A and B are shown apart, each in its own frame.
Chain A
């Protein structure tokens, strides 16, 4: 059976199921997917080159604008990188405050991922209810950092604002309400028969394929690999806070969803711990960091979608020599062709939403060119 007998359907770049532009060329035989190739480059902005022309202090704002949902982890990773290169000490109170905001962002991002998953499988009521309850988390972020989405809170050497005890009480009260609602949603994802029939045994990833294809984050943890940067290579205050890493063995879309639900509960407990054990002291650096000594460093943090890495090379001036960003969606989405084996077209949104794609993150630096027709030499070759 030659390639030309399959029907090729383009999904994207403008499509109601996708929140950001991404092109999937899907070859189908009837209802079954035979081959899928993603094609990107619609959101590219040239951030890595731009960072070489601006000072270290201005680059923290550029790094925060790589992605809207993950802006706190980008600024945290960049600040950790600059501090490693320049041997800069961070006060203890700043480390705990960074942890607090990182975990608040994890809660709201996982609620968004679960709500979008609900919407893509057709469950609009769940989407609306989760978005209404997510507003509680965004109001907390506005109180802590000054803006609901773009926090601009972390800078090299510390954080930019402080928290009073009254605000910490309000955080704790809001968390009780959020946890109560999350327990209700966890029950739906676990027990509801329709959600289960759409997500179980769909998009299965074997444990051995995780390291061959380089998957990171909840996708790897949903297939039984216990890997989490907060546990293996602690940064900020994670070495002092007790938490557990959630893993599942099934490897299908349902397992990935339950990993995210479990991580949301862990994040709520971590914010409570930080609010109770916040140490006294300064919250920011004494002077702005203008010059950084020569050297290079790699900094890694656990973003909501996996492991995020910044590689910074400095030659001793006030501008970085090279800044390389590798986001988790880069590894996850481009290798994702292997998950669509023997799936139906109708399963494509369910699998894609369980991967939690963040296209802006992926595209700040990458491109895969598309030919007129797909050749069988591609790594996503799934033709039987």
Chain B
């Protein structure tokens, strides 16, 4: 019993164990599996990422400028961030990051087409 009282008193003078999120920002560690974006200069249109996605979240869309013929469009509403697309790509065309604040008010905004708009970090919008 006595040890618990000394432990409690000691904890009064330590710094708090919780982060004041969202008032302060809490970055993820560099190894975290966050939003992944395709680099269209490297993509060759092989379709392996769309074929292997377990959540059926990647769709191949025709490219108006011709090179590559098709490129992947990721729907972050369905993505489970397993990174199978990153691993299976033969030219390492996916750029990984630690972004995890991806919430939006509209489901259409979650579909990330790199040639049109890009899904922005929701902390930038003040959300």
Instruction: Contact check, A146 vs B80: say whether CB atoms are below 8 A apart.
Output: no
Instruction: Contact check, A142 vs B52: say whether CB atoms are below 8 A apart.
Output: no
Number of interface residues of A (CB under 8 A): 24
Instruction: Contact check, B4 vs A147: say whether CB atoms are below 8 A apart.
Output: no
Kindly provide the distance from the CB of A314 to the nearest chain B CB, expressed in whole angstroms: 19
A160 at the interface (CB under 8 A from B): yes
| Segment of B26-34, B101-109, B111-119 in the binding face | B26-34
A241 at the interface (CB under 8 A from B): no
B69 at the interface (CB under 8 A from A): no
A58 at the interface (CB under 8 A from B): yes
Task: Given the known inter-chain contacts A142-B31, A146-B83, please indicate yes or no for A62 contacting B54, CB distance below 8 A.
Answer: yes
A379 at the interface (CB under 8 A from B): no
Chain A residues with Cβ under 8 A from B11's Cβ? 129
One of A61, A146, A184 near B84 (C-beta < 8 A):
A61
Kindly provide the distance from the CB of B7 to the nearest chain A CB, expressed in whole angstroms: 7
A338 at the interface (CB under 8 A from B): no
Instruction: Contact check, B1 vs A146: say whether CB atoms are below 8 A apart.
Output: no
One of A61, A129, A288 near B80 (C-beta < 8 A):
A61
Instruction: Contact check, A152 vs B4: say whether CB atoms are below 8 A apart.
Output: no
A139 at the interface (CB under 8 A from B): yes
Instruction: Contact check, A146 vs B31: say whether CB atoms are below 8 A apart.
Output: yes
One of B1, B17, B32, B83 near A152 (C-beta < 8 A):
B83
Instruction: Contact check, A193 vs B1: say whether CB atoms are below 8 A apart.
Output: yes
Chain B CB within 10 A, most for which of A139, A142, A146: A146
A367 at the interface (CB under 8 A from B): no
Distance A61 CA – B56 CA, assembled complex (angstroms): 12
Distance A187 CA – B1 CA, assembled complex (angstroms): 11
Instruction: Contact check, B17 vs A132: say whether CB atoms are below 8 A apart.
Output: yes
Instruction: Contact check, B52 vs A57: say whether CB atoms are below 8 A apart.
Output: yes
Instruction: Contact check, A125 vs B1: say whether CB atoms are below 8 A apart.
Output: no
Fill in one digit per residue for A32-58: 1 if any B CB lies within 8 Å of its CB, else 0: 000000000000000000000010011
Instruction: Contact check, B54 vs A61: say whether CB atoms are below 8 A apart.
Output: yes
Chain A residues with Cβ under 8 A from B1's Cβ? 192-193
User: Lowest 3 CB-CB distances: which A-B pairs, in order?
Assistant: A58-B54, A61-B54, A146-B33
Residues of chain A having any CB pair with chain B under 8 Å: 54, 57-58, 61-62, 65, 125, 129, 132, 135, 139, 142-144, 146-147, 152, 160, 184, 187-188, 192-193, 288
Q: A57-B84, A125-B4, A288-B52 are in contact. List 7 more A-B contacts (CB 8 A).
A: A132-B17, A139-B29, A142-B32, A144-B31, A152-B33, A184-B3, A192-B1
